[in-house]
Amino acid sequence: MGLTRLEITRRTALLTSAAIAANVVNPMRAFAQETPRKGGVFNVHYGAEQRQLNPSLQASTGVYIISGKIQESLVDLDAQGKPVGVLAESWESSPDGKTITFKLRKGVTWHDGKPFTSADVQFTAMEMWKKILNYGSTLQLFLIAVDTPDPQTAIFRYERPMPLNLLLRALPDLGYISAKHLYESGDIRQNPVNLAPVGTGPFKFVKYERGQYIIADRNPDYWRPNAPYLDRIVWKVITDRAAAAAQMEAGELQYSPFSGLTISDMARLSKDKRFIVTTKGNEGNARTNTLEFNFRRKELSDIRVRRAIAHAINVPFFIDNFLGDFAKLGTGPIPSTSTDFYPGANTPQYPYDKAKATALFDEAGYKPGAGGTRFSLRLLPAPWGEDISLWSTFIQQSLSEVGIPVEIVRNDGGGFLKQVYAEHAFDLATGWHQYRNDPAVSTTVWYRSGQPKGAPWTNQWGWEDAKADKTIDDALTELDPAKRKALYAEFVKQVNTELPVWMPIEQIFVTTITAKARNHSNTPRWGSSNWHDLWLSA
């Protein structure tokens, strides 16, 4: 059965790679001469509804894809991936790194007409980012206060040095501002504004019909002159991936973000002239596929066994045959798309080598017993994507060839997090590590010891390493960007040597969008950005 599935998927994947390659070369085609056209409705595929839509309270693409057009952040990333001001115009850090001053944009108003001021920044930072926002509460752990000497100045005061480049890389995602006057009374979590967001962005919230659609219309008073171009954005809730592909073809959808369609549908539509299928514009949402080891299993706490397992799996074969151009070989927890921190491939790697794997197992004392079995393992795959399911089957088949039978235990999202991160009821687990542009935001928690039990996507492996902990802590407060980069290179070397989690595959989300769209995919987090320059040709 395994073989049959492999054959079918391989064929799809081969088609996919050929097709994507053809389109990826020049997704923008020749748009330069066209004059932007005003008007039009842009229909967006929305796969999973969230419980609330305020990006100052929840950091996830499911929120940004909607409220990223309605609310705005202090900074965003430009086409080259450098921080560029949105609600902030300029920033500077004090020499000791404990004070960071933002000068805010003048003449910006909320959709309800009230002016945007530093009081909004102060309230959002202290009450939302520091207390509620996921990842934000860790980032702002040492934030003491935000001073507001005048309406256009917000001064962030930290207990420990905060590297400016870390904050600026985190803020595009974790820097969305909410209106103080709408939130200051009552429970923030239960505020009805959370489902009817009010912001300063190019689009104004109109209506949310749960289970059906969300509508936002052009904001005529937007602070950027002549923007936005679109009249309206409609997000349609479509949970079935195949149905979403059908709606793209029927012209009822113009955009499906973040690999929202099945691999085979994306491959099919990439050959259709009406659509563009590309990974461009998603570089800021890179992820790596993981293999997480539970050190509470005696066998897995032996470094030779972890390395042997890595050597036993032929990753390039898996990528070529199952994922095609949607993925590439990974070299560690910091993906190659991270230009500021990628340390190169010159760290310990574990290429496929079955003989070496066998030798390492033998050396560790796990020789094949009755029926050729060394020991058996339980593998828990996360349910987030087709690729994880395929990858877990591939791990199972690869390890069975070196005498380790693997039982795959599948769960839904809540069940997976509970069993792996709270109950530690796994031997191997596999899922995605989502890289959020700075290792201190998303990545070091996977390795730093002392994580509270139950915190998802953190070091729950039972692995402790004083050297790695020190590198992580030093990098967190290092102000010199060059030294920080060197520390993270050292960190990657350390964790690739010890291998508590193996991250051998790098992926970027895939965008499927109508060929009529212009100015799309032009920043590294385009799906989450505010689309003020997006327009549709006739």
Footprint of another protein on this chain (CB under 8 A)? 41, 48-52, 58-62, 131-132, 134-135, 137-138, 189-190, 194-195, 209-213, 215, 234, 236-240, 242-243, 246-247, 249-250, 252, 411-419, 422-423, 434, 442, 452-457
- Cβ distance to another protein smaller for residue 34 or 423: 423
Name 130's Cβ contacts closer than 8 Å, sequence gap at least 6.
136, 137, 140, 141, 143
Output DSSP code: residue 418.
Answer: I
Q: How far is the CB of 384 from another protein (least distance, A)?
A: 8
Q: What SS3 class is residue 169?
A: helix
Closer CB to another protein, 198 or 238, in the complex = 238
Locate all alpha helices (DSSP H) within 189-335, ordered by sequence: 241-249, 263-269, 303-311, 315-318
Min separation Cβ 35 and another protein, Å? 26
Q: Strand, helix or coil at 145?
A: strand
Q: For the CB of residue 198, give the shortest distance to another protein in the complex, in Å.
A: 17
**Rounded-to-integer distance, Cα 532 and Cα 227, Å:** 6
Q: How far is the CB of 415 from another protein (least distance, A)?
A: 4
Closest to another protein by CB, 210 vs 298, is 210
Closest to another protein by CB, 213 vs 342, is 213
Cβ 411 to another protein shortest distance, Å: 6
How far apart, in whole angstroms, are the C-alpha atoms of residue 502 and residue 431?
A: 11
Contact 47, 244 (CB under 8 A): yes
Compare residues 148 and 338 and give the one whose CB is closer to another protein.
338
How far apart CA 12 and CA 324 sit, in angstroms, is 9
Residue 391 or 457 having the CB closest to another protein = 457
CA contacts within 13 A on the Cβ side of 21:
8
Contact 443, 333 (CB under 8 A): yes
Residue 64 main-chain phi, psi, to 5 deg: -60, -35
Q: Which of residues 160 and 207 has its CB atom nearest to another protein in the complex?
A: 207
Residue with tokens 């004083």: 466
Distance of closest approach, residue 213 Cβ to another protein, in angstroms: 5
Nearer to another protein, 85 or 381 (CB): 381
**Chain centroid, CA 444 distance in Å:** 15
Task: Find the Cα–Cα–Cα–Cα dihedral 478, 481, 482, 485, rounded to 10°.
Answer: 80
CB of 425 to another protein, least distance (A): 8
Measured from the CB atom, the residue of 249 and 498 that comes closer to another protein is 249
Q: Looking at beta carbons only, is 442 or 529 nearer to another protein? A: 442
Tell which phi-psi region holds residue 31, choosing left (phi > 0), alpha (psi between -120 and 50) or beta: alpha
Q: At closest approach, how far in Å is the CB of 26 from another protein?
A: 27
Provide, rounded to whole angstroms, the least separation between the CB of residue 133 and another protein.
9
Give the integer Cα–Cα distance in Å for 100 and 226: 32
CA angle 461, 462, 466 (to 5 degrees): 110
Look at strands 203-209 and 153-158 and give their pairing. unpaired
* Closer of 230 and 313 to another protein (Cβ): 230
Shortest separation between residue 80's beta carbon and another protein, angstroms: 26
Residue number, 192 or 225, with CB nearest to another protein:
192
Q: How far is the CB of 143 from another protein (least distance, A)?
A: 15
Q: Which of 493, 453, 442 is nearest to 471 (CA)?
A: 493
As to burial, measured by CB atoms within 10 angstroms (0-12 exposed, 13-18 middle, 19+ buried), residue 301 is: middle
CB-based contact 146:155 (threshold 8 Å): yes
Of 219, 200, 199, 172, nearest to 78 by C-alpha is 172
Shortest distance, CB of residue 382 to another protein, whole angstroms? 8
